[in-house]
Structure 1
Amino acid sequence: MSDTKPSPALTSPRARALALCGVLVAALFGVAAFVPLPYTLTFPGVTADTLGSYQDRPVLTITGAPVRSTQGQLRMVTISATNPGEKTGLWRSLQAWFDADEAVRPTDTVYPQGDPAKAEEVTAQQMVESQDAATAAALAHLQLSPAQVKVKVDLGDIGGPSAGQMLALGIVDKLAGDGKGGDLTGGMTVAGTGTIDDQGVIGPVGGVPLKTQAAARDGATVFLLPKDECADAKVNTPAGLRLVPVGTLAESVSALEGLRTGGAVPAC
């Protein structure tokens, strides 16, 4: 029977200390994998055509002026998020970090005070303000009186301010189209995001890489976005989706004209 002794290098105090540290590190990583972190996973959400219907109800109902029949689509886009009560561990967060269809965000930026009811209240109010601003900007662009033309927006339980640009474009298209009897879209499926104020200024919204994924999934070939978010939008841009940065409603209308006619169109 052989009597093989371990190498002294393997039984030295230093080797034993390193082995113990390795065990402790492995144990810490094992625990970390199951400890919930203060993060929420976000995903590409639903999209809705502002020229059409959402949940079987028209998104835009306009009274006080003739309304056109339209072709093409103007899609607003959303982001979905895991429930605040759903625990997100280290490994799940790392998986999302490397997945183009997921993102990790601090929970308190998605759910204020960790309260989904509070988040819904905030985003609902933001949507109301966005609808009002989009209506004011669109009517001002068309030189129509808000006292005469009334716009009702119905996007169900979708909240937040980021539909502003696409709502304003939908109103312009339904009332005036391209001003020459055609559509703003030229029959294309155009998606986009961006806040808007009553002067028609388009602002950043965040989450653009996930929104471009949602847009491409639902058939868009063009994506209108705030100028300041070009760098974010170019992260994992879906193949076949053209990014068009704009800063005002007038620039959005002009960009769509360029797309229809083969004219100059801004690019990221």
Structure 2
Amino acid sequence: MPNPPRRSRRVRTLVLCAVPVLALLLTAAFAPLPFAIARPGTTVNVLADHERKPVISISGIGARRTSGQLRMVTIIATGPRVDVSLADVVDGWFRTDRAVMPREAVFPSGQTDQQIERHNVADMKKSQDSAVGAALGYLHRSPKDVKISLSLPDIGGPSAGLLFALGVVDKIDGDGRGGELTGGRTIAGTGTIDPDGSVGPVGGVALKTQAAKRDGATVFLVPKAECADAEAVRLKGLRLVPVTKLADAVASLRALTAGQPVPHC
């Protein structure tokens, strides 16, 4: 019996080799991967009420009313138990309103959902305490004379510290001349804060600028170290203002209201 033509043998060999490769590719396409997919989240005006309760409550001194907004911003990520496929990862890489992040960069490894929740709540509480300390330090006021409470349930993490501190400064002192820090604008921003007023990076800034623009902000306060990340998605009509200290942010907001130049990314 004659041997099959050489070309036919070659085609059959290629087909046989392609089958396991295709199987591996299909498995990879649908197998869960150690990534989280993040997207722009909610924003909250810290100068107003949230869920029928003031975000910032002040006693022991008169707190003034404000007409502008100071919006803290969030990102939303797929949960630690949610499977992310190769298709999800590829889709996230090609979208500006999504970010693919290592799961361990979003959620501490080896922890239960309850432990992660407690961790986020603890970070938020620490951020709030630091914000109050930084604001009162900037205003040269004693915590013995001014009582401040912050309430923002269902949102965790430390990234609202800067906006909390600015909200306290605005409600107590404004710009020192009776005017609002916001100048009636909608200001958004992000950044951790230390009791000495130092502002630190937070991550997810490109997504947060999109949330801010969506909700009407025209100015975004960004930790200076993350300017490049914030500029990754250029949003028309949203001014990026870098800050390294609480005093920087206050000075920039005062300059904006006075129509003076301000730093920019």
Q: What is the TM-score with the length of structure 1 in the denominator?
A: 0.93
Give the stretch that moved more between structures: 255-264 or 196-205: 255-264
Q: 2: CA distance between counterparts of 1:18 and 1:240? A: 55
Q: Which residues of 2 match residues 47-86 of structure 1 at below 5 A?
A: 47-86=43-82
Residue 92 of structure 2 is matched in structure 1 by 96
Distance across 2 between alignment mates of 1:18 and 1:262: 70
Give the aligned length: 261
For 1:1-268, list aligned pairs within 5 A: 10-13=7-10, 15-112=11-108, 113-268=110-265
Q: Does the 8 A contact of 1:50 with 1:166 survive in 2?
A: yes
Contact 1:110 1:119 in 2 (8 A): no
Matches of 1:9 and 1:153, distance apart in 2:
78
Once residues 7 and 87 of structure 2 are traced to their aligned partners in structure 1, the CA distance between those partners, rounded to angstroms, is: 33
CA contact (8 A) 1:208 1:229 kept: yes
Q: For residues 258 and 21 of structure 1, do their structure 2 counterparts lie closer, same or farther at Cα, with a shift above 3 Å needed?
A: farther
Residue 33 of structure 1: how far off its partner (Å) = 1.0
Q: TM-score, normalised by structure 2?
A: 0.94
Unaligned runs of 5+ in 1: 1-6
Could you tell me which runs of 5 or more consecutive residues in structure 2 were left unpaired when the two chains were aligned. none
Percent identity reads: 52
Closer, same or farther: CA 260–8 of 1 in aligned 2, 3 Å:
farther
Residues 33 and 231 from structure 1, CA distance in 2 versus in 1: closer, same or farther, beyond 3 angstroms? Answer: same
Post-superposition shift, 1:12?
Answer: 4.7
1:4 corresponds to: none
SS at match of 1:33: helix
